[in-house]
Amino acid sequence: MSTKTKLNGHARKQTPTASKASPEVWSFFSGAMGLDLGLEMAGVHPTLAVEIDSWCCATVRRNRPSLTLVEGDVTKMTGAELRELRGCSGEVELVVGGPPCQSFSPGGKRAALSDPRGNLIYEYFRLISEIRPRYFVMENVANLITAALNHRPIKDRPGKHWNLRAYSNGRPLAEDGVAPLEDDELSGSAIRQILNDVQGLNYHVTFGVLDAADLGAPQHRLRFVMFGARDGFPPALPTPTHGDGVRGLLPFRTVRDAIWDIRLNPGPHSSYTEDMAAYFALIPPGGTWRNLPIELQKSGLGPAYESGGGKTGFFRRLDYDGLSPTVTTKPNRKGSAMCHPEFVRPISVWECARLQGFPDDWIIEGPMNQQYQQIGNAVPTYLGKAIGEKFLPLLQTAADDAVVPAPRLEHMLEVASARLRRAACNKRGRNSTPDLFGQLA
């Protein structure tokens, strides 16, 4: 173990605080513990957390002081060392984690698996291979489905298309003397490589793209989720509990449900410059930069106005009676804006936490910008709870024969890709729900 690794403030081996009957559940890349809190809500209690960010670790220590917390770099850890720290020589029932996702996020610079941050997925798989838990969960950004194994900048692509799908489906790949994209530069090459490599772990897997809104969150947040089982088959992914009032689902939770009661006492929040506030004052609830007059669209977006893509994050204003877009880490920026539906200000730290499902007594440590960052990077607790509910029955028994076989990998990939495309097309697509075992419903 690296000398820089800290064990919950103590440079010694911890005695596990959970009872002997409690299953070993280990969390990696724990952050502010959104996924872990969701698991707890379902009755699955993490016994170990691993995180490198010091402010996130401060948050974990503040709220879960008895949890075994390892502060350090996963690339310098081994499964054997973590077992020693936990005093665990027996079965680790479940390992969960979301390796940092900026390499694949639409909000950051694309670099896919050629980026060291993308390679943290493989560090996670290495630890799984060393720990050999009964089950594992990996969650990541939904764009992992479309990411390339190797990223070629837009300016170096033939035709300079920003969307890699322009180079698929038999369309010409060469243009103006520019070399065509290689197979590993095409959309979907990253996930295909990951699926090929994960089979080497000798785990059966099921995966797909889930929207946290379908599971009770008051925001659309698409996530790639993979379940793995060492013996037998993993459980099926969670199915929607909330929707648009059809198929017997509960109605979607709205922004009003989440933050109306604290609108006059929202707690600390960032602010807009006077110029930025002038733009937001013209945008109605649920609107974006497209609601501005053309001349203000051009001045507000600047060079981004002429760039490709939908620019859906620019000058967004929430709607009390709708779902929030994905909570961001910088709601005061024009390109990742989350303006309050009623007031001309960014939503507050507390309001972001409400949209993510954090309980009001969960304390986020650090200065305000770090609090926004921790909350925006978190997994919605609603998604974590839905995942926990799938695994709780399995952790209470040693048998795995009650779980049905997973669909074919190619079928799961087709369904996940279709889910992502429909979500990108329109709001109706976001509210449509894919059937993992059949067609889009």
CATH code linked to domain 6-149+188-250+379-431: 3.40.50.150
**pLDDT tens, position by position, 149-159:** 877 777 777 86
pLDDT digits (tens, 9 = 90+) for 42-90: 999 999 999 999 999 999 999 999 999 999 999 999 999 999 999 999 9
Lowest-pLDDT range, 10-24, 182-196, 271-285, 409-423? 10-24
C-alpha 157/C-alpha 228 separation (Å) is 36
What are the residue boundaries of the structural domains of the chain, listed by start? 6-149+188-250+379-431, 270-347
**Which run of H or of E encompasses 363?**
none
pTM for the predicted model, two decimal places: 0.87
Q: What is the pLDDT of residue 21?
A: 61
pLDDT at 179: 78
Residues sharing a CB contact under 8 Å with residue 264, sequence separation 6 or more, in sequence order:
none
Q: How many Å apart are CA 267 and CA 360, to the nearest integer? A: 12
pLDDT score recorded for residue 239: 96
* Counts of helices then strands in the chain (DSSP H, E): 13, 10
Q: How confident is the model at residue 170 (pLDDT cuts 50, 70, 90)?
A: low
Query: Has 101 been annotated as catalytic?
Result: yes
For Cα atoms 269, 99, 219, give the angle at the middle one, nearest 5 degrees.
Answer: 45
Identified catalytic residue from 56, 57, 88, 101: 101
Least confident of 123-127, 129-133, 195-199, 214-218: 195-199
- Could you read off the pLDDT of 389-398 as tens digits, one per residue? 999 999 988 7
Tokens standing for 159? 């035709």
